Every structure is written in C-alpha cells, then in structure tokens.
Amino acid sequence: MLKIKGKLSKKSDSGFEKAIFSTLFNQHDPGRRPEMMVEPQDVDDIIATVRYAQANGLKISVCSGGHSWSANHLREGSILINMKGFNRYAIDHAAMTATAGPGVGGSVLLGELFNRGLFFPAGHCKGVCIGGYLLQGGFAWNGRKLGLACESVIGLDIVTANGDYVFASPHENADLYWAARGAGAGFFGVVTCFHLQLYPKPKYYGMMAHVFSNKHLEHVFRWAHEVGPNVPTAVEFQLLMSQNALNLLGPGIEAVAPIFADSKDELNEAKAFLQNSPIKSKATLRVPFVPLHIKHMYRLTMTHYPYQHHWGVDNMWTSAPIDELMPHLKTIAATMPPPPAHLLWLNWQPPQRRSEMAFSMEDKVYIALYGAWKNPANTPQYESWAPELMRKMEPLARGIQLADEGLHKRTARFVSDAHLQKLDQIRWQHDPEGLFNPWHSRPRLEL
Ligand SMILES: Cc1cc2nc3c(=O)[nH]c(=O)nc-3n(C[C@H](O)[C@H](O)[C@H](O)COP(=O)(O)OP(=O)(O)OC[C@H]3O[C@@H](n4cnc5c(N)ncnc54)[C@H](O)[C@@H]3O)c2cc1C
C-alpha cells in the first residue's frame, strides 16, 4: 500500500475521471489512463511514490501545468505524479536569482518579477507551468534576445528513478543538468524546484501589428521570409493566420511584433522593420507600437488559446525556400478549421551558438498548426488536420519543437541524433529499468 501525506486517487475511485481531466489543458481525451494519481505534499511523498512504482511494476509519469498538447502525462500502467501543488517561488533581487516549483505558472512568476523591475523569459500564455516549459526549452517573451528559457536555469532539485534527491547544476550531476535542459517530455526524474537566473526588466515593452486579408497571403509570407534574417532580436516577429483575424476581420493574417527594448534607439530600430515594410499599404489595419504591461500582452495571446477546447497540434522547423513552402501555406489557408484554429509562423533565426544542453533542434522559421474545436462531435473532422499537413511538409522540415509536440500522432526529430544518443546514455545510467515513461515516440538514430 502506498502511504503518503498528499492525495492519492485510484482508477477505481468515482472522482478519478474528473481528477484526470482537471490536469488537462487540451480537452481532447487521448483514452490513456494511469492506474493512480498522486498529488505529493512534499519530496518524501515523491520518493515513496517512485519506490512504490519500482516495487510494483508500474511506470511513472509527471505533470505540472498539464499543458502538453499530447497529454504526455496520461499513460497506461503508470502512476501519475501531479506537481501542480509545488507552486511556491522566492525571488532574491540582490542576487538576481529565483527558486520556483514546477507548478508555478510562467505568467504568475513573470507578472510578479515585472512589478519588481525584474524579468524572466517566461512563455506567452497563462496556465503554462514552468515544469514542462523549462524542460523542453522554453520559447519566451524576449526569447530571441535572452535565449531559450532553459538557458536561464542554473540548477534543479530532482528525485531520480532510484529515489535519490539530488541537485543538478553545471558542477554537480552535470549529466542530469544537461538532460533537463531540452529532454522535455522524455525527462527521467521528477523536478521539484528550478533555480533561475533573472534579468532587469527591459525599459520599453509593447506590441505593434499589421493585419492583412488572406488575398495577400503570398505577399505577406514572401515578405516575412525575406525580412526574417534582418529583424532585430528585440522583436519576436510572428504571423498568425486564421479564419477570423483579430476575431473581427475574416480570413486573414496578423503580423504581430512584440518588442522588448533596453533603449530608445533599440526601440526605434525594432519598430522600423514594420513601419518601413514594403507591403504595409496592403494592410487592412495598422496598429502602431503600443506600450503594454506584460499582463495585457498575456491577455492578447490568450485570445488565440482559449480554455475548454479540443486541440490537435503539430509543428516544424524549416529553412526551406519560400517557393517550396508557398503551396503548403495556401493549402493550410484553404483547409483552416474555424477559430481558434490557426497557423503560427515565427521568424526565429537562431544564434550561431547555444549553451551545451540536450536542446539542439531549431531553424530559421518555426511553423505550427493549432487545430481547435469545442464540440467533441467535430473530433473526426479536425483532429488530423495539423499532423496530416505536417506529414506532407516533412521533406521541408529539419525537425520539431517539443513545446508543441504531437508525437503520439507523428514521429519526428526533436533533438539532434548525437544528443538523442547522449540522452539515451544518461537515461541508462539514471533510470536503467525505464521507470519513467519516455516520449510517445522517437525517431530512429542515424549515426
Ligand atoms: C496554450 C499553450 C501555450 C503555450 N505557449 C508556449 C510558449 O509560449 N512557449 C513555449 O515554449 N511553450 C509553450 N507551450 C508549450 C508548453 O511549454 C509545453 O506544453 C509544456 O510542456 C507545458 O508545461 P506544463 O508543465 O504546463 O505541462 P505538463 O503537461 O504538465 O508537462 C509536460 C511534460 O513535461 C514533463 N514534466 C512536467 N513537469 C515535470 C516535472 N516537475 N518533473 C519532470 N517532468 C515534468 C512531463 O513529461 C510532462 O508530460 C504552450 C502550450 C499551450 C497549451
């Protein structure tokens, strides 16, 4: 019998289904169910759960904010450790560091830091918790300048597969530290706390946007592709294509530019690429730079990712020529399900160098498809929209982001082969019996 101080719910309990669904952002039921769910009160509860699973032939899965699109944490024959309750954080302003549990919402942490004149590269939506977000990399507000959020993780407290409680950093358990920065849903330990590097709040922050009708699709994507390498890193330039741009203007493309600048000159340089855009006269609507508190930026992004929806999501990194991408972009526009379904095009343009870590898959442009529907009756119609289109675009892709993985539907490369091999070796050392569930699927190694 598993004895813990926290809450334990079993598959046979009457409230189990409700408890499981409360862990899911994506309401699309994957059908998979764990044998039980543990909501630990402290680290001893986690250690006891890990040992119990080992002794009873069960596997372990973990969730924090439950925003995995693929419901990665719902697995058969497993105990689910729900870390949502590990949601405390402490900020050390003088040291410019923070500690935060995996159940802390990125928007909660960043909101608090913002009010204190500080910054951390948190993700763009409310509800996403730092647990899953930091393990997979972390594409952040101001992320083109500050890097992937996991590059600002300076240490982690982890319960390993044999029930040890360890600290991982560049100096201690460096292999676990390497793995925890990019392994994402395939990480083989329970992270109980992240140690984070903080930054000063940028001096200027806000957004500007141009909105185009879909009849200009070809002009807009050609311009975005061409201008990409020259967009300053203070700008997270993205295109959002949907059947109802701004929830108002019908089928169209929002060219959105969140800006985080440290000086007036940097702000002006950041604004210039949109202000001087050669296609600005085609825009139905031009919104000049508006200074916005981070809480308002969150409110704006949430209009694209509402709760209580079913989602079918997939993605790709690419540096393919625009002529090869264009026919696919037109097909995406022509087959786009109703809102809030959308395409995201992110001009990423990665830097030459990154920290040494498991994360190793990125490219010039990121394209993600978010199929969304409210009524479960529409599932057969929409669930395959994103993965099927991404399957057709596979020859143009380098690989995928684990942030938006749909590895239960389509296998794709999410780290380099060399890093996948190194991850296997580290997993073998720390979890030789495969206690922790790995990714839903993985590519074959071609070394
Ligand atoms: C609406 C929405 C918006 C998003 N926006 C962004 C964005 O702006 N930038 C970005 O980079 N990503 C974004 N994502 C993707 C998001 O970062 C990932 O889905 C991330 O995994 C979510 O973290 P979570 O803790 O909420 O999810 P969970 O589903 O709880 O975690 C995902 C997986 O991470 C692992 N995991 C989680 N916690 C732990 C832990 N404590 N210890 C060990 N393993 C753990 C588990 O394998 C788990 O299945 C978004 C997702 C959604 C749904």
Q: Report how far residue 423's alpha carbon sits from residue 178's, in angstroms, rounded to the nearest whole number.
A: 9
pLDDT on residue 394: 98
Q: Looking at the structure, tell me whether residues 110 and 47 fall in a common domain.
A: no
Both tokens of residue 406? 């749909």
136 lines ligand 1 (CB under 6 A): yes
Q: Looking at the structure, tell me whether residues 380 and 320 fall in a common domain.
A: yes
Q: Looking at the structure, tell me whether residues 236 and 369 fall in a common domain.
A: yes
139 CA closest ligand 1 atom index: 11
Q: Is residue 433 assigned to a domain?
A: no
Residue 135 CA to ligand 1 center (angstroms) comes to: 8
Q: Is the pLDDT of residue 447 over 80?
A: no
Query: Which domain-ending residue is among 184, 201, 218?
Result: 201
**Protein residue with its CA nearest to atom 13 in ligand 1:** 403
**Protein residue with its CA nearest to atom 1 in ligand 1:** 305
Q: Is residue 407 assigned to a domain?
A: no
The CATH number given to whatever domain includes residue 102 is 3.30.465.10
Using pLDDT thresholds of 50, 70 and 90, give the confidence band for residue 446.
Answer: confident
Q: Looking at the structure, tell me whether residues 74 and 119 fall in a common domain.
A: no
Q: Mean pLDDT of all residues in the chain? A: 97
191 lines ligand 1 (CB under 6 A): yes
Q: Is residue 401 assigned to a domain?
A: no
Segment 59-74 mean pLDDT: 98
Residue 269 CA to ligand 1 center (angstroms) comes to: 33
Number of domains the chain is built from: 3
Q: Report how far residue 376's alpha carbon sits from residue 395's, in angstroms, rounded to the nearest whole number.
A: 32
Q: CA distances (Å), 33 to each of 7, 187, 283, 344, in order?
A: 17, 20, 48, 31
Both tokens of residue 427? 């997993």
Q: What is the pLDDT of residues 342-351, one digit of tens each?
A: 999 999 999 9
Q: Is the pLDDT of residue 96 over 80?
A: yes
Residue 307 CA to ligand 1 center (angstroms) comes to: 15
Residues in a beta bridge with 312: 371
Q: Is the pLDDT of residue 173 over 80?
A: yes
Q: Looking at the structure, tell me whether residues 303 and 381 fall in a common domain.
A: yes
Residue 141 CA to ligand 1 center (angstroms) comes to: 16
Both tokens of residue 157? 């407290």
Residue 122 CA to ligand 1 center (angstroms) comes to: 12
Q: Looking at the structure, tell me whether residues 34 and 15 fall in a common domain.
A: yes
Q: Which residue segment(s) compose the domain that 169 sits in? A: 89-201
Q: Is the pLDDT of residue 42 over 80?
A: yes
Residue 63 CA to ligand 1 center (angstroms) comes to: 8
Q: Looking at the structure, tell me whether residues 223 and 364 fall in a common domain.
A: yes
Q: Looking at the structure, tell me whether residues 78 and 95 fall in a common domain.
A: no
Q: Give the DSSP H or E segment for 435.
A: none
78 lines ligand 1 (CB under 6 A): no
The CATH number given to whatever domain includes residue 208 is 3.40.462.20
Q: What is the percentage of the chain residues whose pLDDT exceeds 70? A: 100
Q: Looking at the structure, tell me whether residues 324 and 179 fall in a common domain.
A: no
Q: Is residue 343 assigned to a domain?
A: yes
